Amino acid sequence: MTTTHPLLAKLESLLDLTEAERNAIGQVRIQPAEIQADGTISREGDRPSRSFLLLEGMVSLSKMAGGGNRQIMMFYIAGDMPDLHSLHLKFLDSDIWAVTACRLAYMPHDDLRRLCYAHPRIADELWRTTLVDASIYRESVVNVAQRPALSRMAHLFCEMLLRSQAAGLAQGQTCPLPLTQADLGEMLGLSIVHINRMLQELRTRDLITFGQGRLRVRDWDALVELGDFRADYLHLRDR
């Protein structure tokens, strides 16, 4: 890895930065951290004074529902900032934990705020990433409320592949997806048993292979069709 400031690397991929902006980003202090698989990063009710950029690994954002069931709202991948919203919300309303071993780069809220105040284009870009997250949540509501299990799963796989590709983490139609069937169940609101059967269905239809921490999409068009997937909500082509 290079020694580049991680936030600089991220923003540079989104924006043409001026020299002044680059310098200001360089001023943001970085506190590196490593978390092992299954480790807690923060909890509902926490009042963080910093946010982190995920450098490596997979992180998930979830809540406990009444019955003791966990609902996962999002899987975050390298390059994402899963708790950026804590910059303006005083406490967290969700749990954040490491699905796999992770490397994080924490950045103090004070520094981020200073950066935003001095460089509105950067503020807008960070704001925008939280808006894309919101859009993904909206689509999740549709996914879980409207689509049958098989379609729901297909939709998730489409999304994860596309986001991985956009983040430069995929190789062709293959991307890291280090999830257990239980994880998928908690994301999709389905029982493990049913996840298992739906996965088999996707496999026998020859749409995907999934296992050993990887997803390979064998028939993208069919998966898109089955998952009722339209990528616009990811706002990848916006700029």
Partner DNA sequence: CGCCTGCTTGACCTCGCTCAAGGCCCGTGG
Partner DNA sequence: CCACGGGCCTTGAGCGAGGTCAAGCAGGCG
| Residues in touch with DNA (CB under 7 A) | 148-150, 180-182, 189-194, 196-197, 199-200, 211
- Report in angstroms how near the CB of residue 22 gets to its own copies at its nearest: 19
> What span, in angstroms and rounded, lies between the C-alpha atoms of 104 and 52?
6
Phi, psi of 210, deg, nearest 5: -145, 130
The answer to whether residue 238 forms part of the interface with its own copies (CB under 8 A) is yes
The answer to whether residue 137 forms part of the interface with its own copies (CB under 8 A) is yes
**Nearest residue (CB) to DNA, 81 versus 190:** 190
Amino acid letter for position 145: A
Phi, psi of 59, deg, nearest 5: -125, 145
Three-state secondary-structure class, residue 163 = helix
- Report in angstroms how near the CB of residue 202 gets to DNA at its nearest: 11
Burial class (CB in 10 A: 0-12, 13-18, 19+), 203: middle
183 token code pair: 């994880």
Buried b (16+ CB within 10 A) or exposed e, 165-202: bebebbeeebbbbbbebebbbbbbbbeeebbeebbeeb
**Nearest residue (CB) to its own copies, 22 versus 138:** 138
- Report in angstroms how near the CB of residue 74 gets to its own copies at its nearest: 8
Count Cβ atoms below 10 Å from residue 56 Cβ, excluding itself.
Answer: 16
Hey, which residues between 58 and 97 contact its own copies (CB under 8 A)?
61, 63, 65-67, 69, 71, 73, 85, 88-91, 93-94
Residue 182 site contact among DNA, its own copies, none (CB < 5 to 8 Å, cut-off depends on kind)? DNA
Residue 10 site contact among its own copies, DNA, none (CB < 5 to 8 Å, cut-off depends on kind)? none
Which residues here bind its own copies, judged by CB under 8 A? Answer: 44-45, 61, 63, 65-67, 69, 71, 73, 85, 88-91, 93-94, 113, 116-117, 120, 123-124, 127-128, 130-135, 137-142, 144-147, 151, 188-189, 228, 232-233, 235, 238-239
